[in-house]
Structure 1
Amino acid sequence: MADHRRPPPDILVIGAGLAGIACALDLSRAGLSVELLESSDGVGGRMRTDRKDGFLLDRGFQVFNTAYPQVKRRVSLRDLCLRPFTPGLLARTSTRLVRIADPIRRPGDAASLMPGRVLSARDLAALAALTTRDVLLPASILKRLPDRSTAAALTRAGISLSAAEELLRPFLSGVFLEDELETSARFFHMVWRSMARGNLCLPAAGIGAVPEQLAAGLPDGTLRLEAPVVTVTDSGVLLQDGSERPASTIVVATDGPTAACLLPGLTVPDGRTVTTYYHAADTSPLAEPTLVVDSSRAVLNTCVLTEVAPSYAPPGTALVSTSVLNDDRPGGEAVVRRRLAELYGTDTSAWTLIGAYIVEDALPAMVPPWPVSRTTRFAPDRYVCGDHRATGSVQGALASGTRAAREVLADLARQ
């Protein structure tokens, strides 16, 4: 039966992740009445933060990049109280722990990049040339480059196999959530550009503060939580509670698998799964806000979140985040804990497991050739947006939602 408690909107947007919020904001600002339906009890989709016993637990390890164009356009960085990571990283190679520094932002660490200390002179030159090109070339050109795998792109750039395997692959595996570097080189170049241009940070209140800030800009009455949609019908949507919401125009802004269920015939990419563990320790095992990556592939990355943002844990407690691919191994957490003892050089047996998140479809599998943007039009008056329609990033989700609103408005103007 139809829900008569509120007038029908001009447009229904399904899913209050970043893409759905961006789309709803732009359509509302254009003067249309919009209803944003979210199945869960909060906004953000996968970009949410849980509060547990004084800890902030992001749903999977995530960082916030200040260089994304959509972020600059939409987000008040000051209000997020951003806390930066160290520019660079620590990498546990097969023989030792090495530091990869950003000599521009951290001149004091430049000595770590002396030829032969971590990278050969040839690898340093190749990496500098790749970075310079990605920073200086217009994004529009990077998006149109012939596509190949990231592994092939690194080889083509002149980076040696040993440097790629020991240093770049461990880091990029955590970015792409796959360890073969089969991800599109187009996406790699865009990510590399954004990292060189921006800062990697965490909001003091957790990563969920980003969608919460965006959603606060929606007109009153736009957002409707705990309203799962079962079916998209010819005249609107059917909700799980049996009610119907009529609307002539519908935008599906969910994750890929859900979108494929709501829009039969929609093709979506496979998803990458990641598991993130949160451990509490009495003392910090690393007294700096630096990401640690692991060439052994036992873990993707780990960091002491409270060195980045002390607000992530109660006073006097360190919170360590560690991510692994899938992690369906028997005793997976125990394996991770043992490897953390080796990575940090400390006894981890007394660490307390605060939480563990298995994040399915955390990112789309962006294998080449991968279009970094594609139309959101699916059928007449039916649209679909999300990172699976662009790139697996905050920028991709926001850009796809923006495009959906733009295409809706253009189609309405032609009617």
Structure 2
Amino acid sequence: MDKKEESIYIIGAGISGLIAAQVLESKGYTPIVIEASSGVGGRVKTDIVDGYQLDRGFQVLLDGYPKAKQYLDYDALQLQSFLPGAQIFKNGKSQTIGDPLRSLKLLLPTLKSSVGTFADKVKILKLNNTLQKQSVEDCFREPASPAGRSKKTTLEYLQEKGFSHEIITDFFKPFFSGIFLEPHLDTSSAMFEFVYKMFGEGMATLPKAGIEAIPQQLKDKLTQTTFRFDSKVKQVDSNLVTLENGEALNADYIIVATEASDLIPNMRGQDIPWKSCDTLYFTIPKMKDRKPLIGLVSDEGAHINNIFNHSVLETEQLGSEDLLSVTVVKQHDVSVEALVAIVTSELSTYCGIKNAKFLKHYRISKALPKLDTLRYDCAPSETQIKENVFLAGDYLLNGSLNAAMISGERAAQGALEKLGHIIETEV
């Protein structure tokens, strides 16, 4: 059969689906992407509200991600970089710590900071050096935990490295809780090593147009792919995609680049557990001390995990006041109104930020997949779930944009292998 006659459907226009389409296009195929919403991006979205640029959830691109380097044009995204450090709020006071080797302006504040001991700061430099020599694949190949788990937790890992209780509580917990979306550092140390290595090798960044500029750029690179938006899929069989409106689409190959448990009959009941969080946006009077640093609230019992003043970065949409995002990782059962009141009070008490005006709340119920087993990569054949059906999504590997890209690539390669192509990977 001629390549142009092969009908290859991709379900979902998130990062994984867009990468899968790009890989298929590179081999001459013309995939069709079916998306339930009105645009691309999946969980990677940006809204414009009252002239302000709001990402749906506080998200950053770590520019050290290997697959992001491969698939994205960083210059075209006009990436804006955060400083490699954090402003830590505790007991109504704030201190700054960071990596002076990458930003000299952080040297004096870090030396003056009482966050952690001098020995902790030496251990951080040592950990940086160790992980820079380690491959990303090796981050996921550490020995098993003596407790019998496949991996030790991040908290166990930090304790074994000899870090003090103070620096774990004041820095590591609030910083990585905001990344892992869980407050106790129960996430596997494999993920900690990978993320820490990525922070050490690059910068946390945001595109000038917001996080959704990433999937938009991936879409714009596709020249032979057809998109069908506002088309919700009801069921996927070996050679058939059935839409909610009853339309049946015959398919030679199908890549499900979204949660598959509700779509594929033999996967029903195998729902993916998800981590959730809240992101709230406020406008505040322009701040005097404006540095691109993530703020961490380390006071025990606080709802706020981290804050960031987006107005310190260049953005395409710029309001008249500063824009502050607040992330709440702590699980709660209060109403949106009550949460806004709690957060507004905590901004004043812990961070000294007064006169915050509430702008928008996002409840991110599916922020990150909750995974017991983490992997960096997989073979293309491992994405195959039925004869002509393949899966893609970060939940197959680990919760990261890098993993989403790898899984999309591998699913497309799995389909290409079935089509007779010889695929060479490092897996």
Q: TM-score, normalised by structure 2?
A: 0.89
Check if 1:152 corresponds to 2:156. Answer: yes
Distance 1:9 1:411 in 2: 12
Q: Is the 8 A contact 1:285 1:304 kept in 2?
A: no
Corresponding residue for residue 23 of structure 2: 26
Check if 1:379 corresponds to 2:386. Answer: yes
Corresponding residue for residue 303 of structure 2: 298
Check if 1:250 corresponds to 2:257. Answer: no
Map 1:230-245; keep pairs closer than 5 Å.
230-245=234-249
Distance 2:406 2:237 in 1: 27
How many residue pairs are counted as aligned between the two chains?
402
Corresponding residue for residue 361 of structure 2: 356
Corresponding residue for residue 171 of structure 1: 175
1:231 Cα deviation after fit: 0.7
Kindly provide the amino acid, as one letter, of the partner of residue 28 in structure 2.
G
Change (3 A) 1:52 1:96: closer
Change (3 A) 1:217 1:356: same
Distance 2:343 2:87 in 1: 18
Corresponding residue for residue 227 of structure 1: 231
Q: Over residues 203-251 of structure 1, what are the superposed CA-to-partner deviations in whole Å (9 max), with x where a residue is unaligned?
A: 1111100000001111245222111111113431111222111102111
Corresponding residue for residue 396 of structure 1: 403
Q: Over residues 148-174 of structure 1, what are the superposed CA-to-partner deviations in whole Å (9 max), with x where a residue is unaligned?
A: 111111111111222111111010000
Distance 2:316 2:252 in 1: 45
Change (3 A) 1:265 1:373: farther
Q: Is the 8 A contact 1:41 1:226 kept in 2?
A: yes
Q: Over residues 166-206 of structure 1, what are the superposed CA-to-partner deviations in whole Å (9 max), with x where a residue is unaligned?
A: 11101000000000111111111110000111111111111
Kindly provide the amino acid, as one letter, of the partner of residue 200 in structure 2.
A
Corresponding residue for residue 147 of structure 2: none
SS for the counterpart of 2:195 is helix
Kindly provide the amino acid, as one letter, of the partner of residue 121 in structure 1.
F
Corresponding residue for residue 3 of structure 1: none
Q: Over residues 387-415 of structure 1, what are the superposed CA-to-partner deviations in whole Å (9 max), with x where a residue is unaligned?
A: 11111111111111111112221222179
Q: Over residues 29-82 of structure 1, what are the superposed CA-to-partner deviations in whole Å (9 max), with x where a residue is unaligned?
A: 111221111110010001011112211111111111111111111111111111
1:270 Cα deviation after fit: 1.4
User: Where in structure 1 are there 5+ consecutive unaligned residues?
Assistant: 1-6
SS for the counterpart of 1:280 is strand
Q: Is the 8 A contact 1:206 1:312 kept in 2?
A: no
Map 1:67-106; keep pairs closer than 5 Å.
67-94=64-91, 96-106=93-103
Check if 1:277 corresponds to 2:280. Answer: yes
Distance 1:403 1:106 in 2: 37
Choose from 31, 41, 44 the match for 1:47: 44
Kindly provide the amino acid, as one letter, of the partner of residue 169 in structure 2.
E
SS for the counterpart of 1:262 is coil
Distance 1:158 1:95 in 2: 28
Check if 1:410 corresponds to 2:417. Answer: yes
Distance 2:205 2:238 in 1: 44
Map 1:57-72; keep pairs closer than 5 Å.
57-72=54-69
SS for the counterpart of 2:200 is helix
1:292 Cα deviation after fit: 0.3
Q: Is the 8 A contact 1:8 1:245 kept in 2?
A: no
1:116 Cα deviation after fit: 7.3
Distance 2:241 2:260 in 1: 13
Q: Is the 8 A contact 1:113 1:119 kept in 2?
A: no
1:382 Cα deviation after fit: 1.2
Corresponding residue for residue 313 of structure 1: 318
Larger deviation: 303-312 or 400-409?
Answer: 303-312
Kindly provide the amino acid, as one letter, of the partner of residue 76 in structure 1.
D
SS for the counterpart of 1:16 is coil
1:310 Cα deviation after fit: 4.3
> RMSD between aligned alpha carbons?
2.0
Map 1:173-212; keep pairs closer than 5 Å.
173-212=177-216
Q: Is the 8 A contact 1:39 1:229 kept in 2?
A: yes
Distance 2:312 2:112 in 1: 30
Q: Is the 8 A contact 1:390 1:396 kept in 2?
A: yes
Change (3 A) 1:287 1:414: closer
Distance 1:344 1:294 in 2: 8
Distance 2:6 2:58 in 1: 36
Q: TM-score, normalised by structure 1?
A: 0.92
Larger deviation: 261-270 or 239-248?
Answer: 261-270
Distance 2:15 2:387 in 1: 24
Distance 1:70 1:193 in 2: 15
Choose from 114, 119, 137 the match for 1:117: 114
